[in-house]
Chains A and B, each alone.
Chain A
Amino acid sequence: LTVSEDEMKAIAREIRGQVVQMSHVKKTPHLGSSLSCVDIVVAVYWGVLRIDPQNPWDPGRDRFILSKGHAATTLYAALARRGYYDPAVLETYNQDGGHLAEHPCLRCVPGVEASTGSLGHGLPLALGMALAQRIRCAGGETPGLAKTVSSQAGTFPPSATQYRCFVLMSDGECEEGAVWEAALFAAAQKIDDVAVIIDYNKWQATGRSDEVMALGPLVDKWRAFGWSARELDGHDIGALLAALEKLPDGSGKPLAIVAHTVKGKGVSFMEDDNNWHYRTPTADELQAARKELGLA
């Protein structure tokens, strides 16, 4: 799949429109958090991941974990747009008896890699996935012992390709202790095929993320934990692609991208206004948002 940056920008506008609409129709919160990470999700799904939406559970696929599960609408809309399932399914979002809840559940639709919503879980999962690959690659470690059971059981199949794991976290999520347990372990084990992207929109549910906790300087913290860390504009798709195109990056370290973003990005009256963590748009606001996004 080769998609130009301009096309990705257009896709990002479409997804933003979809996300605002889902929040309006189903009256669900976390709109600001969903909008701030759209460009990251688009860059990853259209320009970075080695995936095949027609074969969503290929053991050799790259994994993307939406650790900030409250941005579920962005993931759902992106997966549908990327061809994992019929976009009509999006209409069942948050419906009684439906599959698409306000936080994603493993395999609720093709492409959802983990059940998330409680923060600080995605990175340890990704490290486990990375170690599973390392263990598989170390096969034949036991002299004189045949590799028997897995081939019979068929549950741990060999894969032709090496997969990578990408984890999208929120800045507030970096306050969870489990994140830093995982950061310490990943560096010790030199797990260089895992990347963390932090949607640093400077807000958490009820306050500025740098004020509620001493989060900054965030990139320095990751670097001090032994990661290859850099910061960039999380709405610059070109910059995201350049930062993520090479993983492992050759440093022998895991990669942390601190992506500076704006909460509510793309809709002027939502941008950097934390009321949109919980507020849902009216019909008029939906219309205004669609107009700004060039969709109406």
Chain B
Amino acid sequence: MKVLKIYIMSKQEEFDNKVRQILNGYEMPPPERIWPDLDNRLSGKKHVVKPVFYLFLPAFFLFSVAAFYYFGSKSPSSKVESEIANQENRKSLLDLISSHDNKISGGKTRDLKTSLTQRNNRSANYHAITRQPVNRKPFRQTDPGSKINSNENSDFKPKSFQNEYSNTPLTQVITDSKKKELSLNHLKYLGFGKSAIDNDDDKIIAIHGYHSGIKHKPAGKKFSGWEIGAVFSPQVLRFNDAVKYLPVTYNYQAKDTDSKSTYVGTTQSVTDEKDFLLSRSTSFSAGISVRYNITGLLYAGTGVFYQTVTQHFGKTISGPILFSTVKSADLQSAPEISFDYSYNYLRIPLYFNYSMYSTGRLSFYAEAGAAINILNSVKTTFKNSEQPYGSLNINQNMYAVTSVSGESPLSTSSGFISYSSNFSFGVSYLIEPGLFLQAGPEYNIMISGLNKDNTDFYKGLSFPMSIFYHF
């Protein structure tokens, strides 16, 4: 019986071996449609939203609010607006005018009645002045041209204006304004002058939402001017993981068992890339941007930014990877170790920003640019969750390695200059004339000599948030 069983088993084994032998190396061409699907999936994999992005949002909000109050409190105009808003139905216009009478240029005034008479047949949309949600035509971005010049007559008389509307509730002025038309200077009296312009039809409109946040339109001048801003841009998505690293020299600290003395040493470089697995990466940039408003809608800008690209190598290393001989003592790292590499760049961009559409306080823009990135440093930190890094035996004393860090020597041949380009769309919000927030997604691509096969060093989507001030 036993012999029969052995015989059967050997026959079965023979059969199995034969099957395995026949099927070994057997191939079947897969349908052609599989690779394109795979290609698409590879393009969109590993999109992890980084927690830092969520942490930044409240910070940015607080910063914006603080900036608003800081700049807002310094503006007489916003003070007037605030007063008007608070006393809209009760406060007499006279008080407002009196309190800001000294803001008006005496040489550029004219009589309100004259102005109103000249324009009383025109219909105008002043609803923007009231800031009430009423049906109104969309604001138009216009080149103010010479229309305002014609309004900037010298016949404006503050006293006449004052007499005309003394003890008149503001709501009445606004009601009147629906039938008549006020000049820019009149609106200034109402506290809206800083953001009022003419349009092509010689109708006065308020442009609180004008993208550039221009304080006011000086007669005969263009909307040009410098703006300065602070920008913070966290990475939201990362489209590739292709970041190589430079050879790094690792420094370590070791303490003896009583922690009485510390030993500091340097290990050899680790250059064998295949020992590492890149598991995730993050990036952000922050800096100062200055830009020039060329036409009212188009900006050219530059700036100085600090940019970091961080990548994490997971716990994939089995066996010692760091070796060093210090005073005849060997250091070996423990297995299961992880690394964080941080590439720090100085970024100098050149970009163009175009305001495509404005409505109210909002404006929508498109931006494109290119930048030079100078690699400033590469730092490496090690983490070991379970075991000590290793141990040293120096002069017969045992030292436990307590920390390991790395630095990379930089040179022109190590790809320390890289080039990047960016495209973005976003929205700009005018906090007050001259000050506005800007935010929107931005696609970044960076090419670096660090990747010897010329693959993209970094491709990602970031979310720049900025605050700009117009001089």
Q: Do A and B bind each other?
A: no
- Using a CB–CB distance below 8 Å, which chain B residues touch chain A? none
